[in-house]
Amino acid sequence: MQTHLADFIKDSAAGQEADAILRKCTHCGFCLANCPTYRLLGDELDSPRGRIYQIKQVLEGEAPTESIQLHLDRCLTCRACETTCPSGVEYGRLADLGREIVEEQVPRRGLQRWVRTGLRTVLPRPRLFGTLLTMGRLTRPLVPGPLRKKIRPRRPAPAWPSPSTHSRFVLMLEGCVQPALEPPINPQTARLMDELGIAVKRTTEVSCCGAIDQHLGASEAAKARIRSNIDAWWPHIEAGAEAIVVNASGCGAQVKDYGHLLADDPDYAEKAARVTALAIDPIELLERHADQLAPADDAPRRVAFQTPCTLQHAQKLNGRVDALMARIGFDMTPVPDAHICCGSAGTYSVLQPKMAEQLRTQKLENLNTGEPQVIATANIGCLTHLDEASEIPVRHWLELIKVA
């Protein structure tokens, strides 16, 4: 596509990246087909091609408007459009940049502003979030309707494995909201690793991966967080950590992007690239040990796997978890439209509740096609979002397996 970027951005690194992305777009429209918002709303303005075009206008010097903000807000950043695009347009990067500029120039009003700031303040802080959640649990009947559903009863967690003598070790991102929302996931991940002869070195000073700031148009705040995470991991990396395991695919996608996000930072570029190279989703490690894995004793066998967008469209690991689960003895049920987002999308389910709910209803219908006993997933956001409305339990897939 032809472009004429405006002077304010044309020569910056971000501008050049955006220009290269825009130029790849041929305006063919293929991406419309798999965009959840276009499928629901049928308006070019809510399609990837239309959003690219709207961002292009801003980069070409048009003043951003509330309308553009609205259509960018509605985008889930699921990146299904990227998987669909034959031309290799990196929509996600363009959207981040577009949002940043729009955010600077179009002030948020009233409640909207507070909610966004609130999310950016609370979610990345596990202690604060945990405290609030506990308070919420205690006062559940008093909390207003839409939020009440988000307050999950606490499930008991297994014990962390005792400190081990394994020579192999990995780091693990424990995440910001995950420990409070689904306490079993992290210790369970560590136990699986431990039983496979791999120790998990805990780095509790690292919590949020930075994705929340990043996708709410606050990229500088995100970068600060990323740098401090790198600092916390670095000594362990130097000591020989063989991977950074990220068991929430949304966070995993973000950590895998550190190298790119800090590419222009002279002090951190190299370290960030190293972190990116080390970051893996658990599937990438567990696949190699498939022979040692089996369904957990109490796990139902008929499973529908909901592939998070961050696992398939961002990390490009589509089909791998399902294949492993099938191989170790689960009966995987068919899931139509598995490439379409469930509506969770980070903070989306809070900021765009109506669209999120519609997408969830569709997703649950599709997931239930083959009458599974349980829904498995690989991301905390999708898990809690689906679980709010699902009749059958929704679990992280790592909770359904064991080392035999």
Which residue, 86 or 266, has its beta carbon nearer to ligand SF4? 86
Residue 403 phi/psi, 5-degree rounding, is -90, 120
Q: How far is the CB of 337 from other proteins (least distance, A)?
A: 9
CA distances from 97 to 15, 316, 344, 345 (A): 9, 22, 22, 18
The residue from 18, 91, 94, 306 that contacts ligand SF4 (CB under 6 A) is: 91
Answer yes or no whether residue 209 interacts with ligand SF4 by CB under 6 A: no
- For 79: left if phi > 0, alpha if psi spans -120 to 50, otherwise beta; the answer is left
The residue from 14, 57, 300, 301 that contacts other proteins (CB under 8 A) is: 57
Interactions with other proteins, residue window 78-117 (CB under 8 A): 84-89
CA distances from 93 to 13, 18, 257, 402 (A): 13, 8, 10, 37
User: Residue 109 in 3-state DSSP?
Assistant: coil
Answer yes or no whether residue 244 interacts with ligand SF4 by CB under 6 A: no
Q: How far is the CB of 26 from ligand SF4 (least distance, A)?
A: 4
The residue from 5, 22, 35, 325 that contacts ligand SF4 (CB under 6 A) is: 35
Joined tokens for residue 249: 């695919």
Cα distance between residue 174 and residue 165, in whole Å: 21
Write a three-state SS string for 346-376.
CCHHHHCHHHHHHHHHHHHHHHCCCCCCEEE
Which residue, 24 or 150, has its beta carbon nearer to other proteins? 24
Q: How many residues bind other proteins (CB under 8 A)?
A: 38
Answer yes or no whether residue 227 interacts with ligand SF4 by CB under 6 A: no
- Residue 162 interacts, among ligand SF4, other proteins, none and using kind-specific CB cut-offs from 5 to 8 Å, with none
Residue 254: closest CA among 309, 300, 211, 224: 211
- Residue 91 interacts, among ligand SF4, other proteins, none and using kind-specific CB cut-offs from 5 to 8 Å, with ligand SF4
Q: What DSSP element (H or E) covers 335?
A: none
Joined tokens for residue 363: 């997703």
The residue from 56, 71, 79, 93 that contacts ligand SF4 (CB under 6 A) is: 79
Q: How far is the CB of 39 from ligand SF4 (least distance, A)?
A: 9
Is the Cβ–Cβ distance between 239 and 203 less than 8 Å? no
CA angle 43, 78, 23 (to 5 degrees): 70
- Residue 160 interacts, among other proteins, ligand SF4, none and using kind-specific CB cut-offs from 5 to 8 Å, with none
Summarize as ranges the residues that interact with ligand SF4 (CB under 6 A).
25-31, 35-37, 48-49, 51-52, 75-81, 84-85, 87, 89, 91
Q: Which residues bind other proteins (CB under 8 A)?
A: 1-4, 23-34, 38-39, 41-45, 49-50, 53-54, 57, 62, 65, 67-68, 84-89
